[in-house]
């Protein structure tokens, strides 16, 4: 009798062991399936996030170009006597806006040439006595100087804001623009004496600031630095983009 019970006990233990083993296998299977599903959802989320970023960037850029073009035409219209000179610069700017800005990236050389032309167009707003300083510090032998790594029109906002908000009437008023490209870092520093007059409120004011910051976050996450601050009634904006780090991170985009 004891032998029979012992046998049943052994069989029961084996069955319990098999059930526990099956339970463990089933749990492992469920965990693996859950992990697979999690990875699939995460991959789908990343794809959607990428698509949203692309659509957001396209929307920003589609609004940016007409906005810039309107500002340029307003500048030329306000000083018709300099129209011939301004139109010469405008032709270069329009070529850049209509053709080069369609590319996802341009070279630092192309963007710097565009920025200098944009400054020349805006100069027609100024009186001959207004102090405008433009400095360029460029290493033309940098291997990335002519490589297409820089987002087009990235310099527009800082330059246009200086001309828009500078006090053009005060004797001590000034605008200073410093454009640099050294050690594969694009830098733009713009400073201007702030106007004491309160700017007129516009319904769509501030789009340029938002557009610049959104583009930088989308295109150069953790690879740029944008600072804006005021010192003694002087507004200073500084932008730096490390193109070497950007290139190393996304080599396939070139």
Q: What is the pLDDT of residue 186?
A: 98
SS3 (DSSP) at 156: helix
Give the domain range for residue 12: 5-253
pTM: 0.67
Using 70 as the pLDDT threshold, list the residues of the chain that sit under it. 1-12, 14-15, 17, 21, 23-24, 37-38, 41-42, 44-70, 72-87, 169, 196-209, 250-254
CA 146, 149, 152, 153 torsion: positive or negative? negative
- The CATH number of whichever domain residue 111 belongs to comes to 3.30.565.10
Half-sphere exposure of 234 (CA within 13 A, CB side): 13
User: CA 237, 240, 243: angle at the middle one, nearest 5?
Assistant: 160
Cα–Cα distance measured from residue 191 to residue 231, given in angstroms and rounded to the nearest whole number: 10
pLDDT in tens, 1-21: 556 555 556 666 766 767 776
pLDDT in tens, 84-93: 666 677 778 8
List the alpha helices (DSSP H) in 143-206: 156-165
Q: What is the pLDDT of residue 204?
A: 46
**Number of folded domains that form the chain:** 1
Which burial class, exposed, middle or buried, applies to 53 when counting CB atoms under 10 A from its CB (0-12, 13-18, 19+)?
middle
Q: What is the pLDDT of residue 3?
A: 60
Decide if 176 contacts 233 (C-beta within 8 A). no
């Amino acid at each position: 009798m004891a032998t029979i019970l012992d046998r049943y006990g052994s069989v029961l233990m084996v069955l319990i062991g098999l059930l526990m083993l099956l339970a463990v296998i089933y749990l492992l299977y469920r965990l693996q399936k859950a992990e697979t599903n999690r990875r699939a959802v995460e991959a789908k989320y990343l794809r959607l996030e990428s698509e949203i970023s692309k659509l957001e960037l396209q929307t920003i850029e589609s609004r940016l170009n007409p906005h810039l073009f309107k500002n340029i035409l307003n500048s030329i219209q306000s000083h018709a006597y300099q129209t011939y000179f301004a139109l010469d610069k405008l032709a270069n700017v329009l070529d850049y806006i209509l053709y080069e800005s369609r590319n996802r990236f341009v070279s630092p050389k192309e963007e710097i040439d565009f920025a200098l032309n944009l400054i020349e167009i805006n100069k027609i707003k100024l009186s001959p006595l207004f102090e405008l300083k433009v400095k360029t510090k460029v290493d033309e032998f940098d291997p990335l100087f002519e490589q297409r790594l820089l987002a087009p029109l990235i310099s527009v906002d800082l330059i246009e804001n200086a001309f828009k908000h500078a006090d053009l009437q005060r004797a001590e008023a000034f605008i200073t623009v410093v454009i640099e490209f050294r050690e594969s870092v694009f830098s733009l520093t713009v400073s201007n004496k702030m106007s004491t007059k309160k700017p007129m409120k516009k319904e769509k004011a501030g789009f340029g600031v938002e557009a610049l910051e959104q583009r930088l976050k989308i295109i150069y996450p953790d690879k740029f630095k944008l600072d804006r601050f005021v010192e003694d009634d002087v507004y200073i904006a500084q932008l730096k983009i490390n193109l070497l780090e950007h290139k190393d991170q996304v080599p396939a985009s070139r």
